[in-house]
Amino acid sequence: MAQLAISYKKIGGGEGTAHVVIYHNGVKIGDYKKGIFPVFAKDDAEAILGKRHGGVNGGPGDLDAKIEDARIYAKVLDQDEIKSLRPDTLDIEAAGKLATARAAIKIR
């Protein structure tokens, strides 16, 4: 299985610039800075895997793959955090009566 991770963050002041970094199996393979950093209204955003549109008559995009695990984080992960990700696990922080400081739990 291959891991593909994409980080997306704002750089600069005002509307800022979008900075996208792409990783394959934890190794940075490219990045770019382009345009303004868009802001989406709360509860009004989508994550689309593959093309953003289908053919003239509808239908699927060009993504021909089986997606085993897809995640969206509320912060930009750095390269070390991306390297530490494992399929089918979810890192959690200790809270309340949880006995461990950090754990990984199986989500399936």
Compute the distance between CA of residue 73 and CA of residue 98 in angstroms, rounded to an integer.
22
Reported as a single tens digit per residue, the pLDDT across 2-14 is 888 998 899 998 8
51: amino acid identity, one letter = K
Examine residue 41 and state whether it is found in any structural domain, yes or no: yes
Examine residue 51 and state whether it is found in any structural domain, yes or no: yes
List the beta strands (DSSP E) in 53-96: 89-93
Determine whether 23 is exposed, middle or buried from the number of CB atoms within 10 Å of its CB (0-12, 13-18, 19+). buried
Reported as a single tens digit per residue, the pLDDT across 45-83 is 777 777 666 566 666 556 677 888 888 887 888 999 988
State how many domains the chain has.
1
Other beta carbons within 10 Å of 28: 13
Examine residue 105 and state whether it is found in any structural domain, yes or no: no
Examine residue 49 and state whether it is found in any structural domain, yes or no: yes
